[in-house]
């Protein structure tokens, strides 16, 4: 009884705050056509996504959350009160699947984010492969809350909120009994089509200004490559603008979330264009370095701590130093202790949690690399590792 009262009180208070803070509005059928049990699959854009979805539907929702959210006592207690389901990111987790099945059998509502991570550039990420199998197995109605305007309201790399317009569009994509009659590939296509979203294209249609200060601050968490000169790790942000420490080229972030050159045209006009270009450049660099057998450093973080632990349990520190990634190893270069080396080929479940925690498994143990400055890019390391392992896999399959 207390837990239900807590949930409803929290939902009402947050609903009022979210509507005022972000100009949030819910787009749905009235009256709400779906009764529990059902599944909510939402695109993942904003720190506030679970709250945005939770206040948009009339029933109590059980969210599937990354187990890293449970590592502090405060968050563990809060998430237990709302009966959140802990799940390991980027890995198959049968414990969470069994818990979801139990909630559905008891007539509950389960919500998860099938992209696995929040978008870095406002465009939807690929849907995780196991999502369609889960939907088919649960065989309940599926509702897709599509969040629009959430990226421009608070980009993943920014702690500062903007106020413009935020829509939660609730779309029923599968009715009761439908999922069990469809092939897994057809279900995957339906989910992908429903959640596909390009924030810049949506804003151009709406022509909405997103007002806020320090619109460029900490952009280097996500954007590690200069599109003007091709240098890595040289972007520096301040207020509404950023520049490259190598060539001096820079731009300001407009209230429409686009890039306007400080001195003349900037090579890219949107964050999506920038991200696509930097990942293409990083792919070429990683492949060339791996093919040539070079020990060149592909990505780095100047200072970070390394912690280890298990799932949602508290982590313990095992090292600190400069993080260096070569084609073969992720190295923690410590000043007063010997380096810690992780073979790149042994790293699994590589993902960025929150904005800056690089998580991975090595020898069945979880490790977290956390930069000591908000200017560092864990995303750079994550993408470089994934590209190296993908290239190694492609080479192996052709040999």
Position 31 scores a pLDDT of: 76
User: Using the 8-state DSSP alphabet, how is residue 55 labeled?
Assistant: T
344 within domain boundaries: yes
- Could you tell me if 234 and 314 lie in one domain? no
Position 96 scores a pLDDT of: 87
Report the alpha-carbon distance of residue 115 to residue 127 in Å, rounded: 5
- Could you tell me if 392 and 303 lie in one domain? yes
284 within domain boundaries: no
276 within domain boundaries: no
State how beta strands 259-261 and 250-253 pair. antiparallel
Nearest in space to 328 (alpha carbons), one of 369, 362, 286, 279: 286
pLDDT confidence of 146, banded at 50, 70, 90? very high
Number of domains in the chain: 3
Residue range of the domain that includes 242: 219-269
- Could you tell me if 152 and 8 lie in one domain? yes
58 within domain boundaries: yes
Kindly report, residue by residue over 171-190, the tens digit of the pLDDT. Answer: 999 999 999 999 999 999 99
211 within domain boundaries: no
- Could you tell me if 250 and 129 lie in one domain? no
For tokens 């479940």, the residue is 349
334 within domain boundaries: yes
Kindly report, residue by residue over 95-123, the tens digit of the pLDDT. Answer: 889 999 999 999 999 999 999 999 999 99
Kindly report, residue by residue over 277-334, the tens digit of the pLDDT. Answer: 999 999 999 999 999 888 899 999 999 999 998 766 788 999 999 999 999 999 999 9
**What is residue 364's three-state secondary structure?**
coil
Position 3 scores a pLDDT of: 76
275 within domain boundaries: no
133 within domain boundaries: yes
State how beta strands 357-362 and 340-343 pair. unpaired
- Could you tell me if 226 and 199 lie in one domain? no
What residues have CB less than 8 Å from 354, skipping those under 6 apart?
68
């Amino acid at each position: 009884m207390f837990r239900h009262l807590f949930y409803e009180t929290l939902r009402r208070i947050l609903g009022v705050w979210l509507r005022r803070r972000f100009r949030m509005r819910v787009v749905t059928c009235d009256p709400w056509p779906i009764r529990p049990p059902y599944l909510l699959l939402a695109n993942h854009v904003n720190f506030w996504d679970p709250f945005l979805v939770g206040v948009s539907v009339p029933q109590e929702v059980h969210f599937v959350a990354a187990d890293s959210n449970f590592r502090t006592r405060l968050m563990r207690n809060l998430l237990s009160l709302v009966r959140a389901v802990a799940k390991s990111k980027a890995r198959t987790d049968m414990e969470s699947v069994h818990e979801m099945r139990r909630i559905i059998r008891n007539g509950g509502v389960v919500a998860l984010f099938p992209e696995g991570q929040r978008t870095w550039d406002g465009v939807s990420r690929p849907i995780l492969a196991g999502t369609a199998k889960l939907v088919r197995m649960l065989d309940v109605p599926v509702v897709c809350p599509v969040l629009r305007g959430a990226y421009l309201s608070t980009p993943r790399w920014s702690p500062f909120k903007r106020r413009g317009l935020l829509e939660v569009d609730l779309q029923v994509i599968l009715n009761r009994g439908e999922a069990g009659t469809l092939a897994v590939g057809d279900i995957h296509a339906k989910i992908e089509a429903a959640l596909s979203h390009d924030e810049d294209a949506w804003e151009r249609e709406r022509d909405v200004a997103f007002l806020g200060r320090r619109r460029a601050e900490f952009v280097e968490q996500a954007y590690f490559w200069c599109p003007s000169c091709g240098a890595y790790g040289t972007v520096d942000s301040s207020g509404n603008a950023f520049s490259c420490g190598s060539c001096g080229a820079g731009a300001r972030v407009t209230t429409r979330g686009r890039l306007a050159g400080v001195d003349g045209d900037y090579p890219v006009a949107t964050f999506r264009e920038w991200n696509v270009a930097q990942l293409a450049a990083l792919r070429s660099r990683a492949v060339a370095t791996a093919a040539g057998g070079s020990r060149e450093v592909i990505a780095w973080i100047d200072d970070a701590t390394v912690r280890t632990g298990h799932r949602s349990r508290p982590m313990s520190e095992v090292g600190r130093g400069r993080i260096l990634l070569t084609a073969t190893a992720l190295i923690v270069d410590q000043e007063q202790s010997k380096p810690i080396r992780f073979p790149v080929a042994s790293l699994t479940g590589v993902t960025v949690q929150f904005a800056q925690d690089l998580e991975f498994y090595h020898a069945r143990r979880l490790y977290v690399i956390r930069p000591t400055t908000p200017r560092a890019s864990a995303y750079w390391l994550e993408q470089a590792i994934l590209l190296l392992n993908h290239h190694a896999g492609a080479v192996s399959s052709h040999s």
